[in-house]
Chain A
Amino acid sequence: MRHVRVLIVEDERKLAQVLASALKGEHYDVVVASTGEDGFFHANAEAFDLVVLDVMLPGRSGFEILQTLRQRHIDTPVLILTARDGVDDRVHGLDLGADDYLVKPFALPELLARIRALLRRGRPSEAFRLKVADLEMDLVARRAVRGGRLLELTTREFELLEYLLRHQGHLVSREMLAREVWKEPRRATPLDNVIDVQMTRLRKKVDADTADRLIHTVRGVGFVLREGEP
């Protein structure tokens, strides 16, 4: 099976290393470019499935690279990294043809989730049933069953579990939950507390009466739903 190829254009050496090792951990083939020219050369000459592009680069800015790529009809999905969270910056990036953006500092799980979503794009969405171990969710009937036992979940808990299940095996940060499940554009302290309480309640319902816990807290990062140890 052909590996997914990802180009990282990032001048900050440490960050580039971290990104590369995280993406390799997800079994992607990774190429790192540390200048704008280098990045443009790679993106122009080789075929990639995805480009992670820093905006502030020495020499050639990320926006310029993006613009030139799109002008040459190279439609590789591009995820932009920016330290500026001004709306104008975002709109500018998306206008130039970026597919998604992340504001630094971002959480790695978030970046990985975005990359998965971009790579998945265009494919038919998956079934209406989600499953991990003995936990099953029927999204149409809105039922969740663990080991034959029907879980009584509130609407919010159901959505939360669905999100965890869709990202099973991957870390999910509070930021992602705030935006994707709670639909809040901004993460704030009160919301963090709400998320934690909600997660505790969900875990009680899902992992009650069993030693095989599925929902795990990863300290300092977020949560993960998977079989066995996190």
Chain B
Amino acid sequence: MKAPWSAASIRVRLTGWYAIVLSLMLVVYATATFVAVRQEFQEQLDDQLHDDFESAEGSLTPTPDGRVAWSVGRHHDPDNDEERAGDVWSPNGDQIGRSGASAALPPVALASAGAQPRYESMIASGRRWRTLTGTTLVTGRSVVLRVARSEERLREQLAEVLKVLVLGLPLVIVLAGLGGYSLARRALAPIDHLAVEARRVTAERLHERVSVPNQRDEIGRLAAVINDAFARLEGSFDKLRHFTADASHELRTPLAVIRGIGEAGLVETRTPAEYKEAIGSMLEEVDRLTTLVDTLLRLSHGDAGSVHLSREPLDLGQLTRDVASSLAVLLEERRQRISIEGPEGVSVSADRLVLREAITNVIDNAVKYSPVGASIAVSIREEGGRAVVEVADQGPGIAAEHRERIFDRFFRVDTARSRDAGGSGLGLAIAKWAVEINGGSIRVDAGAAGGSVFRISLPRGNA
């Protein structure tokens, strides 16, 4: 049952809801109107009866023989006689006078006639009547007086009103539905337009944007959001394009070297030592390719979210010291010094191996780019619920425009830098990946005294 309804377009659904709500409101309104009109008619009728009663009272006169007479002259009206009636009884039940259609009505129960006049509705001779019955005194003698009016005319009028209301309601609803439909269409037209424009933007034309007619209204905000999404998509595509170009370069270079060495080796006969040299050189390239492919596969596993992490609370200081000592020989070779400062027991929640790799790559980067004899300052601290490790090097620093891209795969500030000196170009990309997969973030800033400061911020663990 739900499917066809949810399959209908927003326009149809909107109109449907509109019609339903409007119908409910109209039904309530019509009912209230009808009740009020009926009330009003009823009160008018009662007022008329009250007038009839008073004028009938006025027509009662005492006779010289001590009885009461009723002159009904004024009430004699052929047009109204079918609609009205009047009766007067003496307390012992003798009919003193009658007028109009009183024959159609049953006699009143004298015992029930109180001092206060009383309204009643009744059905007599197949018609509905409204009566007013009361006891009145005529020069000390009490008589029972009853006036009546037929309710038929009132009911006819009410039926007219009801007919107008009931017949008019569907008409109004249909008209409102049509109006609602066209309003909904007009309101939703910009969305259709937006959809057409958005469809135009494809992978090949990602630079295009949808037009934003009015930035303030809802459609404008939606268009802005869509444009924002396109911008990010374009950014990702650009990154991917860069990556594909860089990756194919990085992968093809070793292949070209291997091929070149192999072909050159076959052209003429060489000494065994030369062959060994050639084969060794080829194997070096194979090794490089293998590492590259491994790293790329790992990153793509990470992208696909198929990496299993075993998070545990780790002492960040201890982990960092551990990394530093594993890289100690590299520092010694370059006569560099590393200082690690910060309180004990700064705990993070992370996967040990993955996080260790991130810190290793960042410190290795600092070692690689700092000059011989430089010192590298590592500081660890807690900051607003996060654990932070900062690595400050004395390298050449990174220009502001490159700071965002430094973590991109294969990005190198100095494109001329050779593969031998620059490593795989994936170290910092791996570091970023490893930090982010552990719920942290990494960024690089210019150091106060030159160089760069890499800052890794991680969620704290409960030590």
Contact = CB atoms under 8 A, between A and B. Distances in A.
B51 interface: no
A185 interface: yes
Interface in B308-353: 308, 326-327, 329-330, 333, 353
B423 A189 contact: yes
Main secondary structure of the interface of B (DSSP, over half): helix
B152 interface: no
A87 B308 contact: yes
B283 A219 contact: yes
Contacts of B180: none
Interface stretch (A121-129, A133-141, A191-199): A191-199
Interface in B261-291: 276-277, 279-287, 290-291
Contacts, number: 54
Interface residues of A, number: 19
Nearest to A190: B364
Interface in A173-191: 182, 185-191
Interface residues of B, number: 28
A176 to B, nearest CB: 13
Contacts of A188: 357, 360-361, 430
A221 B283 contact: yes
Given A105-B290, A197-B329, A189 B280 contact: no
A25 interface: no
A218 B280 contact: yes
Given A188-B360, A190-B361, A194-B327, A220 B333 contact: no
Nearest to A217: B280
B277 A219 contact: yes
A190 B330 contact: yes
Given A219-B284, A220-B281, A220-B287, A186 B353 contact: yes
A70 interface: no
Contacts of B133: none
A224 to B, nearest CB: 13
Contacts of A191: 326, 360
A212 B287 CA distance: 29
Contacts of A116: none
Contacts of B100: none
Contact of A201 (B329, B360, B427): B329
Contacts of B357: 186, 188
Interface of B: 276-277, 279-287, 290-291, 308, 326-327, 329-330, 333, 353, 357, 360-361, 364, 423-424, 427, 430
Given A197-B330, A219-B276, A220-B283, 10 more contacts: A189-B423, A189-B424, A189-B427, A190-B361, A194-B327, A194-B330, A219-B284, A220-B280, A220-B284, A220-B286
